[in-house]
Amino acid sequence: MPNIAVVLREEITRLARKELRTQTQALRKASAEYRKKIAEMKRQLSELQRKVASMEKRVQKESPSRVAAARERAFRFSAKGLRSSRKRLGLSASDFGRLIGVTGQTVYKWENEASRPREQQLAALAAVRGMGKREAQEHLKKLSKE
């Protein structure tokens, strides 16, 4: 006849395993579901990365032409051209700066290539570039009255 302690231990072990199995079964189902969702998300991620890569290639192919077109329309700045334009109009750096909307010190820095004008200022420079001496003087008089 088997020992009662051994039988009792085996029965307790069996019941503990059964109880653990029922408790962990829900966790296993949830874990399997999470793994499926993670795999699905990884597939979506790789698909989206492929799409982004193809779009980046398209943009890079199209961008240089757009950038070149924008640069053609934009005013090209050179310090030498600014200096000659200012001297052609017979203006000091401070007067030239007032026409553009900056200080004389800024014009001085542009002429000596210590800094470069911003986009807004480039538009103002393009407008002043087309002025004659008389027109520039009249414009300065209007600015001093205001």
Which domains, ranges and CATH numbers included, belong to the chain?
79-145 (1.10.260.40)
Task: Choose between 40 and 26: higher pLDDT.
Answer: 40
pLDDT in tens, 96-136: 998 888 999 999 899 998 988 888 888 888 888 888 888 88
- Mean model confidence pLDDT for the chain: 86
- Residue 95 CA to residue 93 CA, distance in Å, equals 6
Task: Classify residue 86 by burial, with Cβ atoms within 10 Å: 0-12, 13-18, 19+.
Answer: buried
C-beta separation of 79 from 113 below 8 A: yes
Residue 138: partners with Cβ closer than 8 Å, 6 or more residues away: none
- Residue 35 CA to residue 29 CA, distance in Å, equals 10
Task: Choose between 64 and 84: higher pLDDT.
Answer: 84
At 48, the pLDDT band (50, 70, 90 cuts) reads very high
pLDDT over 70 at 65, yes or no: no
Residue 60 confidence (pLDDT): 78
C-beta separation of 69 from 55 below 8 A: no
pLDDT over 60 at 67, yes or no: no
- Residue 127 CA to residue 144 CA, distance in Å, equals 19
pLDDT over 90 at 34, yes or no: yes
Please tell me what DSSP assigns to residue 132: -
- Residue 80 CA to residue 137 CA, distance in Å, equals 22
Residue 50 confidence (pLDDT): 95
Mean pLDDT score, 22-37: 93
Mean pLDDT score, 52-67: 76
Residue 15 confidence (pLDDT): 92
